[in-house]
């Protein structure tokens, strides 16, 4: 009996859970090293991070879905499998998620209320989808989204707004915003809120944030828009493998021209990477296989506020309402001039070399 109790106690920690799932100590430490690097923590913190994560207890999580397309849930559940970050999401006690749970109707709402009552002040509240300020537009079990959010937020230790709709209002908030859609932070003012925008967001940004919270007991450093700097600290343009073509002034003019086939910069075809902060270019999707720009389509800026109302998807940044567009347009023009100059210089060197080779013959 004592051995069984010890086993059950160990199983309730993240370390015990991972061992039970066959994760080796070496693999776990490798994950902790990657997590420390990603979160910009010093190398000396890896051991402390590993110890804290090993002893972390299973937290109660309530996931509320409002005006959304289920894309955020789809992205998470269809991400890498099996991976340690995926197992961390398996480890949490997901006590309410009306898309994934087996229960429905009164039983589902009873589970939500029980989880809030038993874990008052300690549970994580995850929210995806915007919240209509006009209550009649969206209800769950007869409860308006607005009232359900306020009720859930009251007892939450922290709130994670998952996806651009929850973080900024997203597509439902686009002009003319008939439902009066609002973001989580526009409604809740007295709880810690972390935004994980994206349409949908990177799954690793969600599980990485949860891992940080489990280990540290606090949320990581955030930018001015409430996003973790670890995932949203740099814009996609600066990390894009097409950046050298931008600097040389080499741009695709259409999606099927020679430049597009050669992988040239997609800036003129509407790529919003210069004004979009996210880790898409580093982490990518489908186990690091690709991301939209690598697939041949420009970034649409989906992790930035109000991206739906900032001009056409295929309009360049300078043509839309992205803040520093004119500067970027000038930079692109200078890049084109520099690129042309470099090309002339290269041709001159090539001609000189060929002439010298001919004279040697």
Residues at the binding site for [4Fe-4S] cluster are 69, 72, 165, 199, 237, 240, 265, 271
Residues 276 and 235 sit within 8 Å (Cβ to Cβ): yes
> CA separation (Å) from 112 to 72, 92, 118, 138, 150?
20, 15, 10, 18, 14
Feature table: binding site for [3Fe-4S] cluster: 280, 299, 302
* Chain centre to alpha carbon of residue 98: 22
Q: How would you class 207 by CB atoms within 10 Å of its CB: exposed for 0-12, middle for 13-18, buried for 19 or more? A: buried
Whole-angstrom Cα distance, residue 306 to residue 302? 9
Feature table: binding site: 69, 72, 165, 199, 237, 240, 265, 271, 280, 299, 302
SS3 string of the chain? CHHHHHHHHHHCEHHHHHHHCCCCHHHHHHHHHHHHHHCCCCHHHHHHHHHHHHHCECCEEEEEECECCCHHHHHHHCCCCCCHHHHHHHHCEEEECCCCCCCCHHHHHHHHHHHHHHCCCCEEEEEECEEECCHHHCEECCEEHHHHHHHHHHCEEEEEEECHHHHHCCHHHCCCCCCCEECHHHHCCCCCEEEECCCCCCHHHHHHHHHHHHHHCCCCCECCCCCEHHHHCCEHHHHCCCHHHHHCCCECCCCCCHHHHCCCECHHHCCCHHHCECCHHHHCECCCCECCCCCCCCCCCCCCCCHHHCCCCCCCHHHCCCCCHHHHHHHHHHHHHHHHHHHHHHHHHHHHHHHHHHHHC
Whole-angstrom Cα distance, residue 28 to residue 302? 32
Q: Pairing between strand 123-128 and 60-65?
A: parallel
């Amino acid at each position: 009996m004592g051995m069984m109790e010890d086993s059950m106690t160990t199983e309730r920690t993240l370390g015990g859970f991972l061992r039970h799932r066959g994760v080796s100590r070496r693999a776990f430490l490798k994950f902790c090293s990657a997590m420390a690097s990603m979160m910009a923590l010093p190398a000396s913190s890896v051991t402390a991070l590993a110890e804290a994560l090993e002893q972390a207890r299973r937290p109660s999580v309530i996931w509320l879905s409002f005006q959304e397309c289920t894309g955020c849930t789809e992205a998470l559940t269809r991400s890498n499998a099996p991976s340690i970050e995926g197992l961390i999401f398996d480890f949490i006690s997901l006590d309410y998620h009306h898309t994934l749970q087996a229960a429905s109707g009164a039983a589902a709402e009873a589970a939500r209320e029980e989880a809030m009552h038993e874990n008052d002040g300690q549970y994580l509240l995850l929210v995806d989808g915007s919240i209509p300020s006009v209550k009649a537009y969206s209800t769950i079990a007869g409860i308006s989204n607005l009232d359900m959010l306020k009720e859930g937020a009251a007892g939450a230790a922290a709130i994670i707004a998952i996806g651009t709709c929850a973080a900024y209002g997203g597509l439902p908030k686009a002009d003319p915003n008939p439902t009066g859609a609002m973001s989580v932070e526009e409604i809740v003012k007295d709880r810690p809120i972390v935004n994980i925008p994206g349409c949908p967001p990177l799954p690793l940004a969600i599980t990485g944030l949860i891992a940080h919270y489990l280990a540290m007991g606090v949320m990581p450093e955030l930018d001015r828009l409430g996003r973790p700097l670890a995932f949203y600290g740099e814009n996609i343009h600066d990390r894009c493998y097409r950046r050298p073509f931008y600097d040389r002034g080499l741009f695709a003019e259409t999606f099927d021209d020679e430049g597009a086939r050669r992988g040239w910069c997609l800036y003129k075809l509407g790529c919003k990477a210069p004004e979009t902060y996210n880790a898409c270019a580093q982490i990518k999707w489908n186990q690091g296989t690709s991301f939209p720009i690598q697939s041949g389509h420009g970034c649409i800026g989906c992790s930035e506020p109000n991206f739906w109302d900032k001009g056409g998807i295929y309009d360049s940044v300078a043509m839309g309402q992205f803040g520093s567009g004119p500067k970027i347009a000038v930079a692109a023009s200078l890049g084109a001039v520099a690129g042309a100059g470099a090309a002339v210089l290269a041709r001159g060197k090539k001609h000189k070399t060929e002439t010298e080779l001919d004279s040697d013959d």
